[in-house]
Every structure is written in C-alpha cells, then in structure tokens.
Amino acid sequence: SQQGEEDPQALSIQEGENATMNCSYKTSINNLQWYRQNSGRGLVHLILIRSNEREKHSGRLRVTLDTSKKSSSLLITASRAADTASYFCATGFTGAGNMLTFGGGTRLMVKP
Amino acid sequence: KAGVTQTPRYLIKTRGQQVTLSCSPISGHRSVSWYQQTPGQGLQFLFEYFSETQRNKGNFPGRFSGRQFSNSRSEMNVSTLELGDSALYLCASSLGATSVYEQYFGPGTRLTVT
C-alpha cells in the first residue's frame, strides 16, 4: 500500500506560472524525495530532504517538509512546457535500506 | 557513465507463463531495487538487493522472486503469470546502503500479460 497521498492528482497551468504539489505521509520517515516521470518512463530524482530539514532548494525547485504535519510540498517556479510530467513523492525509512514508499503522484501539465 | 539499463523494454506473455527481467545498475553501484507500477496500485516496492543479499521485500506473492549477481546485475522472475501482473517494472540502482543516497531508475520493462 502507498505511504501517502498527493494533492492535487492533476494540475494544469500556463507556462511561467508556479506549480505547487503536496504530499502527505503516515509514519515517521528518515527522508522524503521527489521524482519526476515523463509519460510512463523511468523516474528521475529531483531532490531529497532529510527529516531534520525544513526547506531545500534546487534551481527552480523548492521543497518544504513539516514532520509535525507529516507533509511536504514541491514548488516549481516559472514553469516551462518541458516540466509537463508526473511528480511523485517517496519516503525513506531508517533501517529499511534503499526501500522507498511512493505516493500516488501529481500529473502536471504546463501549457505553452 | 552509462545509466541503468533494463532488458527487455517490452514483453508480451500469456497467463501461466513465467518471465525473467534483467537490470544492469550503474557501474560501482551495489544496490538494486525493483518496483512495479500499475495505474491502479501506483508504484510499489518489490525487493532490494545489496551485495547479492536480499535486504527488503515488499508485499508480493512468492511468484515474484529475484536475485543479484556478483557484478551487481539483477534479475527478477515472475512465475505463473496473471493478468494483474501487467505493469511497468522499474529497477533502481544506488551507490549506498540507505535511501539517503540518490537512486537512479532505469527506463523500465513494460510487461503485458494476455
């Protein structure tokens, strides 16, 4: 079963706008990661945030983590048509090796 | 550096048959994990191998098995295929032993069971 839920399930925006996706999870985690997947292909790692971190940036990406609410958000600023993809959050756990538990994903469409 | 490769990329099998999928990790990576992706269940963890040892296993029936070789290449096998096994099977490799290390995913093998 999936660890958590992502919200919204689908998002459609215009190029240049910001996109925000949210992820909630159920149990204590060691880290939370975000991945992108283009049309049924492999996943691409975007960013990892550890449980003792609150915010992280990478280029146009900003991730926040609130462990008290068991939630995270991914913000993509100044979106581009090439950002069109599905985005997944995944949680890692202490003592669980490389096992990740994925959320259901958000399908993002960026219209040119 | 070559990425993670998976073979075959596409496969069509009949119910009751068995199938073997292969994953070659990035050179130097000792961890290989397998995931099943379906529209209904999403991405689900199958198992992880590290230095030829299975470390974690997801909630899948015993028809799903895997192994890792000394060169870190991994195979997964599904016996007695069912229609519900139709999915995209993804493998991921990692340099380290915990999830704080970045994982690199292959393009996947799309299995269709008829």
Q: Chain A residues within 8 A (CB-CB) of chain B?
A: 1-2, 30-31, 33, 35, 40-45, 48, 50, 88, 90, 92-93, 96-105
Q: Residue A1: pLDDT band by 50, 70, 90 thresholds?
A: very low
pLDDT digit string, tens, across residues A68-112:
999 999 999 999 999 999 999 999 988 888 999 999 999 999 999
**Statement: residue B1 has pLDDT above 80:** no
Rounded Cα distance, B114 and B112, in Å:
6
In this structure, which amino acid lies at residue B90?
A: L
Judge whether B81 and B19 are in contact, CB under 8 Å.
yes
Rounded to 5 degrees, what are φ and ψ at A89? -100, 150
User: So what's the pLDDT on residue B14?
Assistant: 98
The mean pLDDT value for A48-54 works out to 96
Smallest CA–CA distance, residue A61 to chain B, in Å, is 17
Ranges of beta strands (E only) in A1-112 are 5-7, 10-14, 19-24, 31-37, 43-50, 55-58, 61-66, 71-76, 85-92, 100-102, 106-111
Chain A: residue nearest B42 by CA?
A104
Q: Residue B5 belongs to what H/E stretch? A: strand B5-7
As a whole-number percent, the residues of chain B with pLDDT over 90 amount to 91
Task: Give the distance between the most distant pair of CA atoms in chain B.
Answer: 39
Smallest CA–CA distance, residue B31 to chain A, in Å, is 8
Q: Residue A21: pLDDT band by 50, 70, 90 thresholds?
A: very high
Rounded Cα distance, A44 and B5, in Å:
14
Tell me the chain B residues in contact with residue A96 when contact means C-beta distances shorter than 8 Å: 56, 99
Rounded Cα distance, A13 and A79, in Å:
8
How many cross-chain Cβ pairs, A to B, lie less than 8 Å apart?
A: 83
User: So what's the pLDDT on residue B97?
Assistant: 86
Determine, for residues A45 and B103 on separate chains, whether the beta-carbon distance falls below 8 Å. yes
B 22-51 residues inside an 8 A Cβ radius of A: 31, 33, 35, 41-45, 48, 50
CA proximity to B42, closest of A84, A97, A103, A18: A103
Determine, for residues A42 and B105 on separate chains, whether the beta-carbon distance falls below 8 Å. yes
